[in-house]
Structure 1
Amino acid sequence: MKSKSGIVTVVVLAAFAAIVLYFTFGGEGSDPVTEPQAEAPAAQQVSSEPYLTGLTDLTGKPVDMEKDKVIFLNVWATWCGPCVMEMPGIQKLYERYKSNDKVRFYIVSDEDAETINPFVARKDYQLPFYIYQNMYPPVLDGNAIPRSYIIHKGRVLTQMIGAADWDTPETYAVIDKALQDS
Structure 2
Amino acid sequence: MNEMETGRRFLVIILILVAMGAIYFVFVKEPESVSVNSTGEVPNPASLYLSNLKDLEGNPIAMDENKLVFLNIWATWCGPCNMEMPGIQKLYDKYKNHKSVAFYIISDEDAETVNPFIARKGYQLPFYQYAGTYPEALDGNAIPRTYIIHKGKILAEQTGASQWDTPEVVSLIEKNISEI
Specify the SS of the correspondent of 1:115. Answer: helix
Matched AA of 2:120 = R
Matched AA of 2:16 = V
TM-score computed with the length of structure 2 as normaliser:
0.78
Q: Calculate the aligned-residue CA RMSD, in Å.
A: 2.4
Give 2:95's aligned residue.
Answer: 97
Alignment partners' CA distance in 2, 1:12 and 1:169: 34
Alignment partners' CA distance in 1, 2:18 and 2:88: 30
Matched residue count:
154
Give 1:136's aligned residue.
Answer: 134
Alignment partners' CA distance in 1, 2:17 and 2:85: 28
Give 2:41's aligned residue.
Answer: none
Matched AA of 1:84 = N
Give 2:116's aligned residue.
Answer: 118
Cα-to-partner distance string for 1:16-44 (whole Å, 9 max, x where unaligned) = x4xx99xxxxxxxxxxxxxxxxxxxxxxx
Give 2:16's aligned residue.
Answer: 10
Distance 1:12 1:164, change over 3 A: closer
Tell me, yes or no, if the aligned pair for 1:71 and 1:152 is still in contact at 8 Å.
yes
Give 2:173's aligned residue.
Answer: 175
TM-score computed with the length of structure 1 as normaliser:
0.77
Matched AA of 2:154 = V
Give 1:25's aligned residue.
Answer: none
Alignment partners' CA distance in 1, 2:91 and 2:73: 16
How far the C-alpha of 1:13 sits from its partner, in A, is 3.0
> Unpaired runs of 5+ in structure 2?
27-43
Q: Percent identity?
A: 55
Alignment partners' CA distance in 2, 1:177 and 1:50: 21
Tell me, yes or no, if the aligned pair for 1:47 and 1:137 is still in contact at 8 Å.
no
- Larger Rg computed on CA atoms: 2
Tell me, yes or no, if the aligned pair for 1:48 and 1:139 is still in contact at 8 Å.
no
Matched AA of 2:88 = I
